[in-house]
Amino acid sequence: MHIETHGQGPDLVLIHGWALHGGVFAPLVQRLAPRFRLHLVDLPGHGHSRDPDENLDLPAVVSAIAARVPPAIWLGWSLGGLFALRAAATLPTVRGLAMVAATPRFVRGPDWPHAVEASVFARFGEDLGRDYAGTLDRFIALDTLGSEHGRAELKTLRTLLHARGEPDPAALRAGLALLDGSDLRRSLPGLRVPSLWLAGGRDRLVDPKGMAAAAARAPEARFVELAGAGHAPFLGHVDAVAAELAAFADNIGP
């Protein structure tokens, strides 16, 4: 698995969302590298992590990342939040958890109303076989839909999407299965580390109300809604995201 490191300071692991790679965090790297040592992960089947022997399996990927990084704060964006939350719930080396436009359960249920219908991910899975390139483009368009800087963010994501090669279709299907089938809500009350929940106020994929509900179940949790931001707040609202992360790390201490 490809993990690249930038900067100096407290360790921060960053895990990207569906179909992208660690390079998507470039704006955050520019802001945070002077004060953090950043470990940018390319999940299996994405970016530079094209090893066919690695699967997008939640426990296995978390273990593989943990074996390669020192004790750190873990940040997960969107799909990456499932890996970060799993790590925070199971590993003593996780010092803090930052969930960015991410939630322990992405699909709606009778007791979880602030999420998307399961048919959303099923439809993307069906479309992958018919129109691979168009399906990816439609998904990243959802990442930026509603954001006050959506046009510029979409241009950035389209540039980044294939910057490290095309994501593996099998990994994309596995990622959709994780988004559709994962439910990590039971792990929230037992979290032993502080957590930061950063939501985009205009996010069309992860409802801020769902993130607020998740944060309310975790001890030492702080929920922040960034007005005007969409599903990728670290692009159009990077200074606000960087400031929240810096303050969060300061409160954790050395």
Catalytic residue set: 78, 203, 231
Three-state DSSP at 225 gives strand
Q: How many helices (H) and strands (E) does the chain have?
A: 10, 7
Nearest-angstrom CA–CA distance, 85 and 71? 15
51: tokens are 């090893």
Residue 126 token pair = 């069906």
Tokens of 210: 């769902």
**120 with 130: CB under 8 angstroms?**
no
Are 3 and 61 within 8 A, CB to CB? Answer: no
The closest alpha carbon to 245, from 191, 212, 197, 178, belongs to: 197
